[in-house]
Amino acid sequence: MPDPMQARLTRLWQRRGVPMATAFGLGVALALGQAPYGLWPLALAGLAGLTFLISRADSPGQAARLAWAGGAGHFALALSWIVEPFLVDIRTHGWMAPFALAGMAGGLALFWMAAGAFAGWAGRGPRGRALAFALALATVELARGYVLTGFPWALPGHIWIGTAPVQLAALTGQYGLTLVTALAVALPFALPHGPGRMLGAGLGAALLGGVALWGAARLDTPLPPRPEAPQIRLVQPNAAQHLKWRRDMVPVFWERLIGYTAAPGVPVPDLIVWPETSVPYLLNHADGALATIALAADGPPVMLGIQRRDGPRTHNSLAVIGAGGRVTQLYDKHHLVPFGEYIPLGHILGRFGIKGLAANDVYGYAPGPGPRVLNLGPHLGQALPLICYEAVFPQDLRTDTRPGWLVQITNDAWFGTRSGPYQHLALAQLRAVETGLPMVRAANTGVSAVIDPMGRITHSLPLNTEGALTAPLPPALNATPYARTGDWPIAALLLATLAGFVARRARK
C-alpha cells in the first residue's frame, strides 16, 4: 500500500508555486556565498539543490521556470545593494528602488532561465539534465559578462574569493571557476543512483578538493623579492554620497584630502592616490586647486579622480598631477555604468530631466577611447588605471602592453554600507589573481586596499572611516595563463560541450 505521508508530501509539492518558491530559496542560499557573507558551504548546497530540482523537471518549460526562480532569488539577495544609489536622493529617486531591484534580479535571472530551458530540452533524463544545466549555467554566466555592455557580478564562482580555490582563476578566469563549481555540484546527480550517486559525490568533492590543494600550494609559493618597492599612499576622505556635493561639506572633504596628502610620515610616499571624482572642480577650471594639491604633496605625484569637459562631452577621468599642479597623465573612463553614468538614448530622455544617477551632466558621461597604460617613470613603472566598475570586467584589463600593476579609484559610497562595497573589493582581489598583478585601490568611503598578485589584502582602511595608509607596492608575477588567453579557451570548451548535447538530441 502507498505510504499516506509520502502521498501527502507529493500533493503538497505539486501545489502551484511550491517548486518555484523552493527554487527561489535555494537561489538565496547560493547568494550567501558572496561577500561579505562568504558562506560557501551553504552556497554549494543551494546550487546543488537547484541543480537537483532542474534535473527532475517534467519539461523544458518547468526547468526554465525553476532556473529563473533560482536566479531571481540569487540576484535579489546578492545584488540587494542596487537600491542604494536610489536612496541617496530618496525624495527624487527613492520610488525607483524596488523596481530597480526587481528588474535587475528578474532580468539577470533570464540568463539562468535560458540555461534551465537548454537543460530541459537537451538532457536525456535527470542525469543528462543535471550535467547540461551545469554546462549551460557556466555558458550563460560568461555571456552575462559581455551582453549589453556586460554585468559579471555575483557569479557562482565568486563564492571562492578569499579562499584557496580562487587561485584557479589564474588559469581559467572567473568563468572557469564557475564551470568547476557547477560541475562539482552536478556530478552526484549526473551518475546512476546507488553506488553511482556516491561516486559522483566523491568525484565532485575530489574536484573541489584538488583545486583547493593546488590553490593552497600556490599561496605558499613566496613572491619574488622587490627591493626598494615604491611606497603608495591611499587617501580615504569618507565622503558620504548624500553629503559629497553639499556646499557646506565640500570644504570639509577637501580639507581632509589635502590634510592626509600633506601629512608627514615614514616611509615617504612615492605616489599619492585619491578616489574617484574626489576633486570638486572640473579639470578645465581647477588650476588653483591642482597647484594646492601639488603643494600639499611636496614632491610625489598625486593620482586623482576628477571630471572634465571636452567640448560638449563630460568625462569621468583620472589625472596624475606633478610639480606645480601640472597634469602629466590623463585617462578617461571608457566602460560606463548604464543608467548610472549615462542613460541609453540620453539625448532624448535628457530633455525630460532623466539622467544618470552619478553624472552631473544632463546627458551623462561620454566614454573614453579605451584602456590606457600610464607610464609613471622608472621607479613606479607602468600602471593600468581602472575607474570604479571597470574593475568588474576582466576584458577591460587586456592591453597590448602588460602593465606592472593595477590601480583602481572608486566611489563606493554609491553602494551603501552592507554588501556592495565588499563585493566590489572582492572583484578587485579576483582581478589580481587573474592577471598576476598587484592592485591598489583608493575608495571614497572604503574599502581602500593594497592587494598582492595572489589576491591577498596586505593593507587596508576599513569601510566608513577617514584616513590614509602608506604601503609598499607588492611585486608582480609573470603573466598568468589567463592573462595571456582571456576567456576564449573556456568559451570554446563550453560551446563544444553544448554542441555535443545538441548533436545527441538531434540523433534522438
Closest CA to 441 of 390, 486, 490, 505: 390
pLDDT in tens, 262-306: 999 889 999 999 999 999 999 999 999 999 999 999 999 999 999
Closest CA to 476 of 441, 447, 448, 440: 440
Give the DSSP H/E element, type plus range, for residue 310: strand 302-310
Report field, pTM of the whole predicted structure over 0.85: yes
Q: Is 276 a catalytic residue?
A: yes
In degrees rounded to 5, what are phi and psi of residue 433? -65, -45
pLDDT in tens, 361-375: 445 789 999 999 999
Of 193-197, 259-263, 268-272, 401-405, where does mean pLDDT reach its minimum?
193-197
The phi-psi region of residue 52 (left if phi > 0; otherwise alpha if psi is between -120 and 50; otherwise beta) is alpha
Closest CA to 391 of 342, 353, 426: 426
Q: Is 355 a catalytic residue?
A: no
Distance CA 314, CA 308 (A): 6
- CA atoms within 13 A of residue 256's CA, in its CB half-sphere: 22
Question: Active-site residue among 141, 276, 341, 434?
Answer: 276
Please give the residue that has the higher pLDDT: either 2 or 90.
90
**How many other CB atoms sit within 10 Å of the CB of residue 41?**
10
Q: Is 333 a catalytic residue?
A: yes
Distance CA 234, CA 75 (A): 32
197: its cell numbers: 550517486
**Secondary structure class of 246 (helix, strand, coil):** coil
Return the percentage of the chain with pLDDT > 70, whole number: 92
pLDDT of residue 198: 86
Q: Is the pLDDT of residue 469 over 80?
A: yes
Distance CA 65, CA 183 (A): 21
**With 0-12 CB in 10 A as exposed, 13-18 as middle and 19+ as buried, what is 354?**
middle
Distance CA 353, CA 345 (A): 13
In degrees rounded to 5, what are phi and psi of residue 472? -75, 145
Question: Active-site residue among 341, 388, 390, 434?
Answer: 388
Question: Active-site residue among 84, 333, 341, 355?
Answer: 333
Distance CA 121, CA 97 (A): 36
pLDDT of residue 358: 55
Averaged pLDDT score across all residues of the chain? 92
